[in-house]
Amino acid sequence: MTDKNDYWYLERDKKPSLYAWIFNEMARGAIYAFVAVMAILGFIFLLIALSKILPEDPFAAELLPALTAAATALV
């Protein structure tokens, strides 16, 4: 049993073709890459925002004298 057209994947009709499959796979890979890059960038920006919120020197925080005074009052 042979087909009339051995190159069915090159036809431009409504049947699935090799071109459509390749485009679909390439688009899916591009979407996965986009999601991965956005996740990495989001994590980096989250770290940058966190570093802006936290003090440079943890011992220079304004809360530390109040905590030490409360700790010495309890002891």
Report how far residue 28's alpha carbon sits from residue 43's, in angstroms, rounded to the nearest whole number. 23
The band of 2, judged by pLDDT with boundaries at 50, 70 and 90, is low
Task: For residue 15, tell me if it sits in a domain.
Answer: yes
Report how far residue 8's alpha carbon sits from residue 32's, in angstroms, rounded to the nearest whole number. 30
Distance, first Cα to last Cα, the chain: 94
Report how far residue 68's alpha carbon sits from residue 75's, in angstroms, rounded to the nearest whole number. 11
Q: 23: domain range?
A: 8-74
Task: For residue 2, tell me if it sits in a domain.
Answer: no
pTM of the model: 0.56
Task: For residue 63, tell me if it sits in a domain.
Answer: yes
Task: For residue 3, tell me if it sits in a domain.
Answer: no
DSSP code for 74:
H
Report how far residue 4's alpha carbon sits from residue 27's, in angstroms, rounded to the nearest whole number. 31
The band of 56, judged by pLDDT with boundaries at 50, 70 and 90, is confident
What was the pLDDT predicted at 19?
Answer: 81
Q: How many domains does the chain have?
A: 1
Task: For residue 44, tell me if it sits in a domain.
Answer: yes
Q: What does the pLDDT average to over 18-37? A: 93
